[in-house]
Structure formats: C-alpha cells, structure tokens
A and B are shown apart, each in its own frame.
Chain A
Amino acid sequence: MSKTPPLLQINQLQRLMMGPLSLQVEAGDCLCISGPSGSGKSQLLRALADLDPHTGEACLRGVPASEIPAEVWRTRVGLLPPESVWWLPQVGDHFHGDLPVPLEHIGLSAAILAQPVAQLSSGEKQRLALMRLLSNHPQVLLLDEPTANLDPENTRRIEAVIDEYRRARQAVVIWVSHDQAQIARVADRYFAVSDGLLEETTIGGRQ
C-alpha cells in the first residue's frame, strides 16, 4: 500500500524572484519563514494561494491545485495578508461560518460584530481578520505577519488561537514572522529566505 501523500506538497514553485521551491509539509506542522522585506515572502504566500500566476505546483494530499476549482483551493489554503480589508459597513457582515473560538479569547467582545468597520482599530482589524479566515476552516494557513500590529498580550492570544486551531484540525501553518522569539515559540521548522530560496535553519540559532 502506498503511503498517504503529505498534506501540502510544493513542487518546483516559481514566482518572480522566488523559487524554484520544493517542499513537503506534514499535517499539523507549523513552518516559519523570515527574511528581509522585499525578499519575496509575500509573493510566495500569494502564489501558494494561487492569486498570482506561477510555474510549478502546490498539491493538497497529492491533488494539484490545477485540478481543484480556484475558489475551493483558496478556501482550503487560506491566506491572511498583512493588511486586512473590510468592504461591508458592519463587522459582522463579513462573517459567515461559525467563529473558531469565542471572541473573548482574543480580547474582544461579541458586541464588536455589530460595530461599523470604520470604528475598528488596526489591532482589532488584524485579530478579526484571523477569525474571519479561520471560520472558513482552511487546511493550510498562510499567515503574513499576523501579529505585526499587536501588543505582547494580544500577540500571545493570537499565537494560542492559531496553535489550538492547528492541533484541533491538524492544519499546516506557514507563518511569516520577523520576531525570533515568536519563531522559537511557535515553529516546528524554520526557514530563512536567501536569494529567492528557502534555507532550513535551526530555530533560535540553537542546534
């Protein structure tokens, strides 16, 4: 009997200055990526979510993206961009599925759903954007600096929510972060971007 293919498999993926990259990520793994700004980390995440044309391919459980309708792929491989976007008047209008955790877990109250988007702070938007993405139940989470605007307390809350989601759903998490301490807290594997390629590195500089 053949072994189950890995949850996420990347074959010779190439987009602008990134790649070609090949990588296998097992279900439940959290993989952190860091690198100077402009090194192509966001391009890699966009290509994985199939938002930009690219060569090579990503596969979910052995099924290539091209064989899955684009909107289904993007529901399963969910990208959280650095800046969240809200297009309807009220916060709650943007939520369809069940919330993955009660909003109190991320330091917000349920009343925020009835608020106009214009009243949200950038930190509230960032936390709510993660909730909105998780309510789609993606199998792969592509997180582009998900705690960049947050204070230490909320950063820890977000890390806990992502960790809980990853364990409960055996999801793959690909997490772009600049914070070495955060990487040491959350990563199973750590990669540094160098010349468009990913170099697997030891976490926190330790062996």
Chain B
Amino acid sequence: MIELSVTDLAIAAVLVLLLALLSIRLRSNISQQLIIAATRTAVQLTLIGLVLKALFANANLGWVMLMALIMLLVAGREVMARQERRFKGWLGYAVGTISMFLSSFAVTVFALVVILGEDPWYTPQYAIPLLGMLLGNTMNGIAIAMDRLTHTAWEQRAVIEARLMLGERWDRAISDYRRQAIRSGMIPIINAMAAAGIVSLPGMMTGQILAGAAPVEAVKYQILIMFLISAGTGLGTLTAVSLGSKQLFDERQRLCLDRLRQP
C-alpha cells in the first residue's frame, strides 16, 4: 500500500482552496462553508485516527464499549436533528436511539460472534468499523422513516381521526402511514444494493482494494456489509416506527399531535 505523506494531503487541500477561490469569484456564498467543512474533516478524522490507534493498542472490552456508546449517542442526536416534527422532550431522542441500539448493536455483535469469529469477539479493528457502518446507515433509515411518520400523522390528522371515530383501533387507523414510513426508511439501502457494482463501487470495497486486498476478497466483505446493513436498517426502522406510532396515541387511543414539536 502506498503511504500518504502530509505533502500529499496538502496538494489535495490546494484543490479545495482553488474551488473556494473560484466560488468567491462567482459570488457564490459557499466558500466559507466549504473551508469550514474541509477543516472539520481534517481535524475530526485526525482525532479519530489517534483514538483508534490508542484503542487498537489497548483492546479491552471496556474501552470498546465506551467508544460504541459515544458513537451511539452521537448518532441518536443526529437522527433527532434530522426530523422536522420530532417528538418533544426526551422521547424525541429516545425513540431513534433505542431503535439504533437494538438494531445496530444486535447485528454487529451477531456478525462479530457468528460470522467473523475473531478472538476476542470485540477486537476493535473489526468491531468499531462494522458498528460505524451499521450506525451510519440505520441512522439514515430511521431518520427518514420517523420524519415521514410524524410528518404524515400531522398532515393526515383528519383521516386518522375519522378512522378512530368509526371505531378502528389506533394501530389500524395509522397502519397505512406506518407502512409508508417503513418503506421510505428502507428505500435507500434497497437502492444501494441494487446499484452496487454497476453504478457505484461501494466505499469500503474501494478502500480494501486500495489497501492491497484481492478484489474478490474485498467483494465478499462488501456483500457481507450490505446484508448486515439491510438487516440493521430494516430492524431499526421497524422498531422506530412501531415505537413512534404508539407514542402518537395516548392510553385512550387519542391522536396526540401535541406530543410533536412545531418546525
């Protein structure tokens, strides 16, 4: 594998600077955001590189768990921030975070123990990147599905209440919108699997090939990851939409839109 020097990265950074200059000349106001984002990438990735280096040197379960917990909490915040009409208060954070915990953690541990079988099972070189990819993708699915669910419940209030008035149970009254929400959360990973290898070469596979792995080995890992991600996203989306739609009703099966935040 070709090792990159600081100079190599500096040359690539010049490209970003040129782009920023060009956008100033074109009076586009994107240059400041571009520079800030590029700086964040450099700083954040350097820090995580150092953290992973330290973690790989001290592969004990406690540190791996701490790292996993931090990743989960940050992903939970991200899911919350991406919903326009999220639940007010702690529920807005809990629904997404609990669903990600149940899905991503369960699928990661399953893959580590049953499929990879490394000793110990929590070996951070495998556990952390795997969990990261799962969290990143379930996070997307859950955020899209929850945004869709709360948004539709708000828009279709009249339909949901009309169905309640006719004596339908809450879960039947919202069933169409629950299905739509689950579907929209699953679409990105289904599309990614369908297009993989034809339209795009997935990032992880590309990375392994650059690092010198045989293409067929890299492909096997990519297939594994895709399957794990779709299982994790499906499980996470189902959990979040089930928890979320239940929270839209109270104990007398009344639609409680006042539990949602106004955008």
User: Taking the complex as formed, is B246 at the interface, i.e. its CB lies under 8 A from any CB of chain A?
Assistant: no
Contacts of A52 in B (CB 8 A): 254
CA distance A51 to B252 in the complex (A): 8
Nearest B residue to A80 via CB reads B165
Distance in angstroms from A133 CB to nearest chain B CB is 7
Contacts of B162 in A (CB 8 A): 81, 84-85, 87
Interface hub of A49, A65, A71, A84 (most chain B Cβ within 10 A): A71
Count residues of A near B (Cβ-Cβ below 8 Å). 22
Across the interface, do B254 and A51 meet the contact criterion of CB distance under 8 Å?
Answer: yes
Nearest A residue to B161 via CB reads A51
Distance in angstroms from B79 CB to nearest chain A CB is 29
Distance in angstroms from B169 CB to nearest chain A CB is 5
Distance in angstroms from B186 CB to nearest chain A CB is 23
A87 in contact with B252 given A74-B164, A81-B165 (CB within 8 Å): no
When each residue 108-146 of chain A gets 1 if its CB lies under 8 Å from chain B and 0 otherwise, what string results?
000000000000000000000000110010000000000
CA distance A87 to B168 in the complex (A): 13
CA distance A66 to B156 in the complex (A): 27
Across the interface, do B159 and A87 meet the contact criterion of CB distance under 8 Å?
Answer: yes
User: Taking the complex as formed, is A28 at the interface, i.e. its CB lies under 8 A from any CB of chain B?
Assistant: no
Contacts of B166 in A (CB 8 A): 74-75, 78, 132-133, 136
Chain A, range 61-75, C-beta contacts under 8 Å to B: 65-66, 70-72, 74-75
Contacts of B167 in A (CB 8 A): 71-72, 74-75, 78, 136
User: Taking the complex as formed, is A53 at the interface, i.e. its CB lies under 8 A from any CB of chain B?
Assistant: yes
Across the interface, do A74 and B158 meet the contact criterion of CB distance under 8 Å?
Answer: no
Across the interface, do A71 and B253 meet the contact criterion of CB distance under 8 Å?
Answer: yes
Contacts of A74 in B (CB 8 A): 164-167
Distance in angstroms from A171 CB to nearest chain B CB is 15
Across the interface, do B165 and A51 meet the contact criterion of CB distance under 8 Å?
Answer: yes
User: Taking the complex as formed, is A183 at the interface, i.e. its CB lies under 8 A from any CB of chain B?
Assistant: no
Q: Which of A50, A66, A71 contacts B169 (CB 8 A)?
A: A71
When each residue 69-100 of chain A gets 1 if its CB lies under 8 Å from chain B and 0 otherwise, what string results?
01110110011010111010000000000000
Distance in angstroms from A76 CB to nearest chain B CB is 8
CA distance A72 to B165 in the complex (A): 10
Contacts of A75 in B (CB 8 A): 166-167
Contacts of A70 in B (CB 8 A): 164, 170, 252-254
Taking A52-B254, A70-B170, A85-B162 as known contacts, 10 extra A-B pairs with beta carbons closer than 8 A to each other, sorted by chain A number, are A51-B164, A51-B165, A53-B252, A65-B252, A71-B168, A78-B165, A78-B166, A78-B167, A87-B156, A133-B165
Pairs A-B, 4 closest by C-beta atoms: A75-B167, A85-B162, A70-B253, A87-B159
Binding site for B on A (CB under 8 A): 49-53, 65-66, 70-72, 74-75, 78-79, 81, 83-85, 87, 132-133, 136
Binding site for A on B (CB under 8 A): 156, 158-159, 161-170, 176, 250, 252-255
